[in-house]
Amino acid sequence: KNSQKYTYLYPETGWASVNNDYEAITKGAYEQRSDRRVRLGQDTGASWTEFRASRKLRDGWRVSGAIGFGYYDSGTGMYLNSANMAFDKKDLGSLSLGRQYLHTGYVTRTNTYTPLETFGENSIRLDYTAIKGLHASGYYSLPASSDVRKKKNGQEVEGFGASVSYLHPLDDHQTVRVALGYSDSRQNAKTTGRDSNFYATKSQGTAASVEYRNNKLLLAADIGQKNEQINGTVTDKSKGNYMGVKVGYEITPRLTMTAGFGKKVAERTQKSGAALIHAYSKDLCVADANDSCHNFVQAYETALFDKIDSKRSYVRADYYLRENVRLYGRIDDEKIT
């Protein structure tokens, strides 16, 4: 990822903090920071592996299962990435249970932003593929293991959604794919502390996409919207609008280049009577026993700002060593204002 640096300009004399070490800042002063840790959430490595197995049954049915493990070198350690079982029949559909990816993750096609839920912690998924070119899917998500105990950690308590995609051949060399999706989720969000404003109690997302292929050329576009009910500690509502475009070209049978751009604009409504206090004056802040001013919004706390404009662009190269062996590299750039 390509990290960006930003400048925070102080219009009035006030106080600022770097690693919780507060100091006086004069009017007109500025500080520069990198958004690397804020955006990525970690600056260490991660790895994962998955095992799959399947067995044919009678009358064209098949049963399959998958289990995957991941590892974050940032305190999380080993975790269960996926664990699911599926029953499927060719030219009919499938029923899958467990921790799995959802078909809503394949609605948007630009690989930038999506307003839909794409993964189910503990979900039941039903797919229908009997009509050529058509893929319809629906899911229902049960509580995650920790939420069975009603632990307020922001994980999903209940969710459902549906999506449909249709691939239409125009001729022997051209195809058009259209897709629609909807997801509705409820979380057992935290209700105290300033960090709790990152969690939504309810969220609804809709998205649509169109993808066009002509021999070696690929064009795609996304559009979507997401509405969230925040827990109300400070922020009540959030409304986000999404769009994205992508273009790809097969340079050789082994090498493909892709570029994409996406934009997400989120507008938030604060709780009635709540006001965000910026670090303009220490008189507006609440000081602790060490005379540290801490109750204000800092530049990196994007979840509390009234409006956030996010833009992401990338370039990706895919190279096939063999039919089932692929290497790829991707360069990303994201700007948040």
**Tokens describing residue 18:** 């770097």
Strand partners, 330: 316
Burial class (CB in 10 A: 0-12, 13-18, 19+), 220: buried
**Tokens describing residue 258:** 């892709």
Q: What is the DSSP letter of 197?
A: G
The pLDDT tens digits of the residues spanning 63-105 come to 999 999 887 665 566 778 889 999 999 889 999 999 999 999 9
**Tokens describing residue 64:** 């399959």
Strand partners, 317: 257, 329
Residue 131: count of CB within 10 angstroms of its CB: 10
197: left (phi over 0), alpha (psi -120 to 50) or beta: alpha
Residue 15: count of CB within 10 angstroms of its CB: 20
CB 48 within 8 A of CB 70: yes
CATH 2.40.160.10 fits 91-274+306-336, yes or no: yes
pLDDT at 5 over 80: no
What is d(CA 144, CA 121) in angstroms, rounded to the nearest whole number? 6
Residue spans of the domains in the chain: they are: 1-43+276-304, 91-274+306-336
Mean pLDDT of 192-207: 74
**Tokens describing residue 16:** 């600022």
What is d(CA 26, CA 201) in angstroms, rounded to the nearest whole number? 40
Q: pTM value?
A: 0.76
Task: State the pLDDT at residue 51.
Answer: 93
pLDDT at 153 over 60: no
Task: State the pLDDT at residue 1.
Answer: 44
**Tokens describing residue 272:** 């009635």
C-alpha R_g of the chain? 23
One-letter amino acid identity for 207? A
Task: State the pLDDT at residue 214.
Answer: 95
Task: State the pLDDT at residue 143.
Answer: 80
